[in-house]
Amino acid sequence: MRLAEAGLAVRDIDLGGFDAESDHKLAEDFVRTPLVDEALTGRGHLFLGRKGSGKSALFRQLPALSRVAQGPSMLAVTPDDYAWSALKAYREQGLAPEQAHTNAWKFTLAVELASYLIALELSWSEKAFGQAAALKTFIERNFGKQRTRGLLPATSLLKGIESFDLSAFGFGVGLTRKDVQEQALTPALIEVLLSHLEAPLQEYPLLLELDRLDDAWDGTSESQSLLVGLLKASKDINDRFRNVGNKNSTRVLVFLRTDIYDSLRFDDKDKHRPFEQRISWSGEQLTDLVARRLPKNVTFDGIFESGKLRGSTLPVDYLLRRTFLRPREVLQYVDLCLKLAGTSAVEVTKRQLREAEVTFSSWKVDDLKQEYSKALPDFEPLLEALRQQVHRYDTFDQLVELLRKKQPDIVERLGARGSLELLFETSVIGIRLGGAGQTRYKSSDPSLALPTAGTVYIHQGLVKGLNVREARAPAGGGFIPSDEDADITSA
């Protein structure tokens, strides 16, 4: 239904917030994708998505969705600056930083699981009761009686406390680091904690989810070591407690930005591949997402002027092609259109849709620079090399020639292929094979790999922001324009 047919105007539209933290419509308008079931009952525990792809929305909704599904209780944790600082600074004598950070995370996560369990005051079996009682004593003697939250008390170890009271586990009162080889205390303590969690977690499984892990990311070796340690620690815990006598297993779910994860280099990363869940959206899912935020029965296309733009493109398709298919940016573009239309309008005109594109495209150029500034320092110079150039390159060599002219040092260091891959992996460029068919971008097909040849297109969402001009049709005839060619000609 069209907005006018419903007797409504733009003033009656409330899109909600554009980020999960401020979105008051998140719960009622949440789009349930297959990732929800994977998070609640599947094997996947590493959820990867680009900025604005909905990681935090999924993170925030999972506890309520798990309750509805009568699944495990969920602990949602977002480490603050204090926890990050303590974790990053942790060292163990004789261990590489990566292994020390793995130990630090294991201890921290084990304490978080234990402190949550003992606060529930559940009725345990005899075996679980004994283990839970020991955990309760350990937690209260070392961290106090109030349940730990946000990883804060757990970082006491990492701040350099010299001793722990381990008498709850039969070690003797006041055992100190000096009584044991320092490199052995933490692994020993972790093993004791995890072994005492086995029976309680078999009877009462938990899901512990961590988000906002990019807040303290600065691209340094310490940040990389810290995140690698978290990935290894979460996998070790998940492997240990997977399907221990219960269809619902205790798991640690990690939510992380794709670009940061892909930049991490560590041994055995291939072992984490089976547990990766990359967050992506189709045009249909995003259309549904917007429609849920509109007045009842009003469709996404019902807020736009009827008919197609020049180039035979419907307004909704025109808008979606200028995004990287992420919820936040789609809502931002729609909001720009509504503001241009004005509160009393009953539709967004095609002219207003194109006018909003100018601002939106400028935003996307700036947003991408910020998104990749730490993980990919070569990104911004290569992106800027495309400014005021053309929207299409008929061969890979044409684009490489431009990049080599504008950024010779980067192309020399990364190589021609590496430079193209950087732009391709971030969806700045897409490829059209054989001069026919649709242009394909990584943002719409995460499994896509850069081919060896093809026609290269600059993403339509960046054309206005980079002040890109139309490329001439290649000489010799036989050229079949793509949707991108038609859109830039008509815009």
Give 82-102 pLDDT, tens digit per residue. 566 667 666 666 678 888 888
272 contacts: CB under 8 Å, gap ≥ 6: 46, 231, 235
**At 36, is the pLDDT very low, low, confident or very high (cuts 50, 70, 90)?**
confident
Average pLDDT of the chain is: 85
Whether pLDDT at 462 is above 50: yes
Segment 59-85 mean pLDDT: 77
DSSP helix/strand/coil, 76: strand
Among 401, 380, 413, which Cα is nearest to 456's? 401
Rg (CA), the chain: 26
**How many Å separate Cα 476 from the centre of its chain?**
45
Q: Taking phi first (over 0 means left), then psi (-120 to 50 degrees means alpha), and beta for anything else, what does residue 7 get?
A: left
The single-letter code of the amino acid at 220 is T
Cα gap 317→178, rounded to integer Å: 66
Reported as a single tens digit per residue, the pLDDT across 434-453 is 767 789 999 988 889 999 99
H or E element that contains 429: strand 429-432
Whether pLDDT at 27 is above 70: no
Torsion over CA of 257, 262, 265 and 270, rounded to 10 degrees?
110
Q: 215 with 80: CB under 8 angstroms?
A: no
Q: What is the DSSP letter of 470?
A: P
**How many Å separate Cα 254 from the centre of its chain?**
9
Which ranges constitute the DSSP H helices of 322-377? Answer: 327-341, 350-372
Q: What angle do CA 276, 277, 280 make, to 5 degrees?
A: 140
Segment 53-60 mean pLDDT: 85
Cα gap 18→12, rounded to integer Å: 18
**At 394, is the pLDDT very low, low, confident or very high (cuts 50, 70, 90)?**
very high
Q: 256 with 375: CB under 8 angstroms?
A: no
The single residue listed with the structure tokens 């345990």 is 124
**Do you know the residue count of the chain?**
491
Reported as a single tens digit per residue, the pLDDT across 266-295 is 988 999 999 999 999 999 999 999 999 999
- Dihedrals phi, psi of 74, to nearest 5 degrees: -125, 140
